[in-house]
Amino acid sequence: MKILVIHGPNLALLGEREVAVYGSFTLDEINEALKDEAKKAGAELEIVQLDGEGEIVEKIGKARKTFQAIIINPGGYTHYSVAIRDAVAAVAIPTVEVHLSNIYAREEFRHKSVIAPVAVGQISGFGVNSYLLGLKAAVGLLQKK
Protein backbone atom coordinates (compact mmCIF):
# COMPACT_ATOMS: atom_id res chain seq x y z
CA MET A 1 0.00 0.00 0.00
CA LYS A 2 1.53 3.26 -1.17
CA ILE A 3 0.53 6.58 0.35
CA LEU A 4 1.56 10.04 -0.81
CA VAL A 5 2.08 12.70 1.85
CA ILE A 6 2.02 16.29 0.61
CA HIS A 7 3.15 19.10 2.89
CA GLY A 8 2.03 22.42 1.45
CA PRO A 9 3.49 25.92 1.50
CA ASN A 10 5.64 27.20 4.36
CA LEU A 11 5.74 23.87 6.17
CA ALA A 12 9.49 23.61 5.57
CA LEU A 13 9.72 26.43 8.12
CA LEU A 14 8.19 24.43 10.95
CA GLY A 15 10.08 24.77 14.20
CA GLU A 16 10.93 28.38 13.34
CA ARG A 17 7.66 30.01 12.27
CA GLU A 18 4.80 30.83 14.59
CA VAL A 19 5.87 28.32 17.22
CA ALA A 20 2.90 29.30 19.41
CA VAL A 21 0.55 28.14 16.63
CA TYR A 22 2.42 25.23 15.03
CA GLY A 23 4.73 23.99 17.78
CA SER A 24 8.49 23.62 17.93
CA PHE A 25 8.80 20.37 15.96
CA THR A 26 10.35 20.41 12.52
CA LEU A 27 9.13 18.96 9.25
CA ASP A 28 11.89 16.35 9.45
CA GLU A 29 10.55 15.25 12.85
CA ILE A 30 7.04 14.91 11.43
CA ASN A 31 8.39 12.90 8.50
CA GLU A 32 10.34 10.56 10.78
CA ALA A 33 7.25 9.96 12.93
CA LEU A 34 5.23 9.22 9.79
CA LYS A 35 7.85 6.80 8.49
CA ASP A 36 7.95 4.95 11.81
CA GLU A 37 4.16 4.56 11.89
CA ALA A 38 4.00 3.59 8.21
CA LYS A 39 6.56 0.85 8.75
CA LYS A 40 4.49 -0.58 11.61
CA ALA A 41 1.40 -0.50 9.39
CA GLY A 42 3.11 -2.06 6.40
CA ALA A 43 2.65 1.07 4.29
CA GLU A 44 5.12 2.71 1.93
CA LEU A 45 5.24 6.52 1.93
CA GLU A 46 6.45 9.12 -0.47
CA ILE A 47 6.72 12.45 1.31
CA VAL A 48 7.06 15.79 -0.47
CA GLN A 49 6.94 19.43 0.57
CA LEU A 50 5.78 21.77 -2.17
CA ASP A 51 5.23 25.52 -1.93
CA GLY A 52 3.69 26.07 -5.36
CA GLU A 53 0.02 25.50 -6.07
CA GLY A 54 0.81 24.20 -9.56
CA GLU A 55 3.41 21.79 -8.16
CA ILE A 56 0.83 20.36 -5.77
CA VAL A 57 -1.77 20.00 -8.52
CA GLU A 58 0.76 18.26 -10.77
CA LYS A 59 1.84 15.87 -8.00
CA ILE A 60 -1.77 14.94 -7.23
CA GLY A 61 -2.50 14.38 -10.92
CA LYS A 62 0.41 11.98 -11.28
CA ALA A 63 -0.46 10.18 -8.03
CA ARG A 64 -3.31 8.17 -9.56
CA LYS A 65 -0.80 5.92 -11.30
CA THR A 66 1.18 5.05 -8.18
CA PHE A 67 -0.65 5.72 -4.90
CA GLN A 68 -3.69 4.29 -3.18
CA ALA A 69 -4.17 7.22 -0.75
CA ILE A 70 -3.06 10.80 -0.19
CA ILE A 71 -2.49 12.70 3.04
CA ILE A 72 -2.32 16.43 2.41
CA ASN A 73 -1.75 19.54 4.46
CA PRO A 74 -2.55 22.19 1.86
CA GLY A 75 -1.50 25.01 4.20
CA GLY A 76 -2.88 28.37 3.13
CA TYR A 77 -4.22 26.85 -0.09
CA THR A 78 -6.83 25.07 2.03
CA HIS A 79 -9.07 28.09 2.00
CA TYR A 80 -9.13 29.05 -1.67
CA SER A 81 -7.38 26.65 -4.05
CA VAL A 82 -10.07 25.37 -6.36
CA ALA A 83 -7.23 23.93 -8.48
CA ILE A 84 -6.05 21.64 -5.66
CA ARG A 85 -9.65 20.78 -4.81
CA ASP A 86 -10.34 19.84 -8.43
CA ALA A 87 -7.15 17.75 -8.63
CA VAL A 88 -8.16 15.75 -5.55
CA ALA A 89 -11.65 15.22 -7.01
CA ALA A 90 -10.26 14.26 -10.42
CA VAL A 91 -7.93 11.49 -9.26
CA ALA A 92 -10.54 9.90 -6.99
CA ILE A 93 -7.86 8.65 -4.58
CA PRO A 94 -8.95 8.60 -0.93
CA THR A 95 -7.49 11.82 0.46
CA VAL A 96 -7.16 12.82 4.10
CA GLU A 97 -6.74 16.53 4.80
CA VAL A 98 -4.63 17.34 7.86
CA HIS A 99 -3.71 20.51 9.74
CA LEU A 100 -1.38 20.99 12.67
CA SER A 101 -3.49 23.77 14.17
CA ASN A 102 -7.23 23.85 14.70
CA ILE A 103 -8.22 25.92 11.68
CA TYR A 104 -11.66 26.54 13.21
CA ALA A 105 -10.15 28.23 16.27
CA ARG A 106 -8.10 30.68 14.20
CA GLU A 107 -8.93 33.64 11.98
CA GLU A 108 -12.36 33.48 10.37
CA PHE A 109 -10.97 33.19 6.84
CA ARG A 110 -9.35 29.87 7.87
CA HIS A 111 -12.68 28.32 8.93
CA LYS A 112 -13.57 27.19 5.40
CA SER A 113 -11.74 24.45 3.54
CA VAL A 114 -12.44 24.06 -0.16
CA ILE A 115 -10.56 20.73 0.00
CA ALA A 116 -12.68 19.09 2.73
CA PRO A 117 -15.74 18.38 0.54
CA VAL A 118 -13.65 16.16 -1.77
CA ALA A 119 -11.55 14.55 0.97
CA VAL A 120 -12.64 11.44 2.85
CA GLY A 121 -12.01 13.34 6.08
CA GLN A 122 -10.18 16.15 7.81
CA ILE A 123 -8.08 16.12 10.98
CA SER A 124 -6.94 19.37 12.57
CA GLY A 125 -5.64 20.75 15.82
CA PHE A 126 -3.49 17.89 17.09
CA GLY A 127 -0.04 19.00 15.97
CA VAL A 128 2.13 16.12 14.79
CA ASN A 129 -0.65 13.73 15.79
CA SER A 130 -2.88 15.20 13.06
CA TYR A 131 -0.54 13.60 10.54
CA LEU A 132 -0.31 10.32 12.46
CA LEU A 133 -4.09 10.14 12.80
CA GLY A 134 -4.37 10.93 9.09
CA LEU A 135 -2.02 8.06 8.30
CA LYS A 136 -4.00 5.73 10.53
CA ALA A 137 -7.21 6.77 8.78
CA ALA A 138 -5.70 6.25 5.32
CA VAL A 139 -4.33 2.82 6.22
CA GLY A 140 -7.68 1.82 7.71
CA LEU A 141 -9.50 2.84 4.56
CA LEU A 142 -7.14 0.87 2.37
CA GLN A 143 -7.31 -2.22 4.54
CA LYS A 144 -11.12 -2.24 4.20
CA LYS A 145 -10.86 -2.41 0.40
- Contact, 9 vs 77, CB < 8 A? yes
Is 86 annotated among the ligand-binding residues? Answer: yes
Q: Terminus-to-terminus CA distance in the chain, angstroms?
A: 11
Among 7, 22, 77, 131, which one carries the catalytic annotation? 22
Is 10 annotated among the ligand-binding residues? Answer: no
Burial 36-54 (b: 16+ CB within 10 A, else e): ebbeebebebebebbeebe
Is 85 annotated among the ligand-binding residues? Answer: no
CA distance 116 to 112: 9
Among 7, 77, 99, 131, which one carries the catalytic annotation? 99
Active site (annotated) includes residue 99: yes
User: Burial level of 130, CB count in 10 A (0-12/13-18/19+)?
Assistant: buried
Active site (annotated) includes residue 77: no
Is 100 annotated among the ligand-binding residues? Answer: yes
Task: Please give the single-letter amino acid code of residue 48.
Answer: V
Active site residues: 22, 99
Annotated binding-site residue numbers: 73, 79, 86, 100-101, 110
Query: What are the binding residues for substrate?
Result: 73, 79, 86, 100-101, 110
